[in-house]
Structure 1
């Protein structure tokens, strides 16, 4: 199991993961709000080029070459994931309860950053990002993935329909009805679904669903780490839309590197 560590910048804490140690990266807390990646990138790398998108809860993953312009006056491209195509690019995603996922390639130094809520996870956004990395030369055995602070399954109540939408990415028979998909997953060991006492409801751990998707791709357990922090249950550290209904976010970023860095 990978270790996670709190780092401090200007008296404020952010989280790092040993799996991503070769890269400058961080999962930032609510204390950094309302600072944006244009400011936060200085925490990670002085001269990195900031890359971000307008998140829309989909599964579109872009490379910097796909982005229209660096002009701040222009609208940002709509997507929920970014991958680097050269060194010294700082890729950023924001989240409140959704899973921020940072990926590094140990052989090339390239990285990806993904915003994976239940909608994006139901559309397999993390496997999409992995596929894009593979298309530019990555091998599964070289990838490491850190899933940052997000809402934990034990406190994330969703409808059976939502749970089934995510569950269909994890079961062999995706054509089954919603109840059958949920029932099959509830019977699995270490399932991303948990029982809920309310009729028509179930508990969903989106972090674990993403880890399952990565396992199905062929990544080993030693290649994936999940942060031991819940945005809903730790109000001093994290914003949580489910807890407050307020649209405030924390940022997560990673900087691509040359192998000589």
Structure 2
């Protein structure tokens, strides 16, 4: 989807991915070639004066703003959450991933932004719609949002248990179903389904990025407001870490910097 809207930029001799939908915001989806650099090292590639914001990701659905983070009596420097939403300009919001979806959102009018870590667990908890709802509560309109979903594991190679596919699919499935299997079969029968069949009994192939797209369009966003990176972390080992491929806990970072109102 919108594969032509993605292009590579350069920092320190390495390439990182950007999306034309987010051209109004300094942003980037960085590759494994930047490892082991962290957001404090990478933010200057986006905006030299931006304040770094990041959290401890736990595969949940919590969405925090920098103000909320500053007010928390956290035991560690980075409170537990899986999404960040800006509440002022020049805030660099970062998430990390190694197969899960890095989702960056910008508001064309307010200039505010969000960065979301959406694996299958977070997607089952509807973390992307929750982040959008929090942006709306801060004054955003759905029509003003632009969403880029970065490199993640592709559905064609992401085998999961039918129970997992059902847990995620339940967030987008119409109607009631008697069992997980019935729900998955119903979703698989739909056009452009994010749940694909698998040869192994009790398994399915799950396209988490497309589930996020479905969740966004069911909120009321148009497909023109959403772009999915044409890159798979599992199938491109030269560019991306993949936990499913190697079992190693290594990550690539994705970030976006908020700006002033238009």
Count of residue pairs the alignment pairs up: 260
Question: What SS class does the counterpart of residue 154 from structure 1 fall into?
Answer: helix
Q: Residues 152-167 of structure 1: matches in 2 within 5 Å?
A: 152-167=154-169
Per-residue deviation at 1:68? 3.8
Correspondence for 1:189:
191
Per-residue deviation at 1:181? 1.0
RMSD: 1.6
Per-residue deviation at 1:172? 1.8
Correspondence for 2:241:
239
Correspondence for 2:7:
5
Correspondence for 2:146:
144
Distance 1:146 1:35 in 2: 22
Q: Residues 76-95 of structure 1: matches in 2 within 5 Å?
A: 76-95=78-97
Per-residue deviation at 1:176? 3.9
Question: What SS class does the counterpart of residue 145 from structure 1 fall into?
Answer: strand
Structure 2: tracts of 5 or more residues without a match: none
Q: Does 1:42 align with 2:44?
A: yes
Structure 1: tracts of 5 or more residues without a match: none
Q: Is the Cα contact below 8 Å between 1:149 and 1:230 reproduced in 2?
A: yes
Per-residue Cα deviation, 1:170-189 (whole angstroms, up to 9, x for no partner): 11225642111101100010
| Structure 1 outlier segments of 4+, above 6 Å | 69-73
Q: For residues 10 and 170 of structure 1, do their structure 2 counterparts lie closer, same or farther at Cα, with a shift above 3 Å needed?
A: same
Correspondence for 1:66:
68
Q: Residues 88-237 of structure 1: matches in 2 within 5 Å?
A: 88-173=90-175, 176-237=178-239
- The two structures have a TM-score, normalised by structure 1, of 0.97
- The two structures have a TM-score, normalised by structure 2, of 0.96
